[in-house]
Amino acid sequence: MAVLDRALDVVEFLRANCPWDAEQTHRSLRRYLLEETHEVVDAIDAGDDASLRDELGDLLLNVAFQIVIAEERGAFERDEVVTGLEDKMRRRHPHLHGGDPASWDVVKAREREARDAVDSSVLGDVHPGADPLSHAHRVQKRVATVGFDWPEAGGAWAKVREEVEEVREEFSSGDQQRLEEEIGDLLFAVVNFARLAGVHPTTALVRANQKFTRRFRRLEALAASRGVKMGEVGLDALDQLWGDVKDEER
C-alpha cells in the first residue's frame, strides 16, 4: 500500500498548493474520471503498453482525488476504501477463503436482497455512473429479468424504425427540445436492439470510431497524393475520396 499511498500524497500536495486543485469537488472531477477511464480502454484496445501505463497513472490520480476529497469532508477514510474492497472480494470468492463455495450469481443475489431493504426497485442498484450507452444496456438487462423485454430482436428493430420516424417528425417541426428527447429515445432503442442481437453497443461504437478514424486518415493521405486541399473542396469531392477509401478496403 505504501506505493499507492504516494498517489494520495501527490493529491494532498496539489490540494494544499494549487488553487485550481484546491477548489475541485467530487462532481467537478467527474468528467475527468470518465475521460481517463475511456483513455485506459483506448490504450488496451490499441495494445499500447506505454500508453496503458501512462493512462493508468492518470486514472489512479483521479481515484486518489476522489478519496482525498472524501477524507477532507469526513465522509470516509482511505483505509475504509481498501477494507471495503477486501471484504467484498472475500464475500464473492468464498471458495478461496474456506467458506461456502457459492457461485458469483448467488453471492450477488444475496447482496441485492440486502440492498432491496433500502430500495426495492429492480433498478435500485443500477446507477448512472457508467457511460450512457453502458448505462442504457444495464438498465435494459435488469428490467429484462422481470420479463419487461422483447421476446426477440425483431420487436426491438421495429421499435428502432418507429423512433427514427419520430425523430424525422420532430426535426421537421423545429422543436429542439422535443428533437433531443426523440433522439434520446432512438439511441435507447438502438442499444436495446443491439443487446437482443447479441452485440454490446459500447464495443460496436468503439469499433465504428476506430474504423472511421482509420478511413479518414487514409482519406487525408489520398487527398494529399492527388493534390486535393482539404477544407477548400466541397463535400462531393470528399465523398468521392471516401468512396475510394472504402473501395480500397474491399
- Please give the grid coordinates belonging to residue 154: 425483431
State the average pLDDT over residues 112-138.
76
- Please give the grid coordinates belonging to residue 52: 496503458
- Helix 2-17 vs helix 49-73: angle between axes, to the nearest 10 degrees? 60
- Residue whose cell numbers read 457461485: 103
In whole angstroms, what is the distance from residue 23 CA to residue 25 CA?
7
Q: Which residue has the higher pLDDT, 85 or 45?
A: 85
State the average pLDDT over residues 59-68.
97
In this predicted structure, what is the pLDDT of residue 184?
96
DSSP state of 94: G
Q: Which residue has the higher pLDDT, 119 or 143?
A: 143
Q: pLDDT, tens digit, for every residue of 2-41?
A: 788 999 999 999 999 999 999 999 999 988 998 898 899 8
Q: pLDDT, tens digit, for every residue of 189-243?
A: 999 999 999 999 988 998 899 899 999 999 999 999 999 999 999 999 999 999 9
State the average pLDDT over residues 97-124.
70
Q: Which residue has the higher pLDDT, 108 or 64?
A: 64
User: pLDDT band at residue 48, thresholds of 50, 70 and 90?
Assistant: very high
Q: pLDDT, tens digit, for every residue of 80-90?
A: 999 999 998 88
User: pLDDT band at residue 119, thresholds of 50, 70 and 90?
Assistant: low
User: pLDDT band at residue 129, thresholds of 50, 70 and 90?
Assistant: low
Instruction: Flag whether pLDDT at 46 surpasses 60.
Output: yes
- 42: Cβ contacts below 8 Å, ≥ 6 apart: 51, 55
Stretch (H or E) spanning 38? helix 30-46
In this predicted structure, what is the pLDDT of residue 118?
65
195 in Cβ contact with 141 (< 8 Å): yes
Burial class (CB in 10 A: 0-12, 13-18, 19+), 65: buried
45 in Cβ contact with 23 (< 8 Å): no
Instruction: Flag whether pLDDT at 57 surpasses 60.
Output: yes
Mean pLDDT of the chain: 90
CB atoms within 10 A of CB 203: 12
User: pLDDT band at residue 97, thresholds of 50, 70 and 90?
Assistant: confident
State the average pLDDT over residues 101-123.
69
In whole angstroms, what is the distance from residue 163 CA to residue 171 CA?
12
User: pLDDT band at residue 102, thresholds of 50, 70 and 90?
Assistant: low
In Å, what is the CA distance from 154 to each residue of 134, 148, 158, 189?
Answer: 21, 15, 6, 12
Q: Is 175 left (phi over 0), alpha (psi -120 to 50) or beta?
A: beta
Q: What is the dihedral of CA 119, 125, 130, 134, to 10 degrees?
A: -110
In whole angstroms, what is the distance from residue 62 CA to residue 7 CA?
9
State the average pLDDT over residues 157-178.
96
- Please give the grid coordinates belonging to residue 95: 471458495
Share of the chain above pLDDT 70, in %: 92
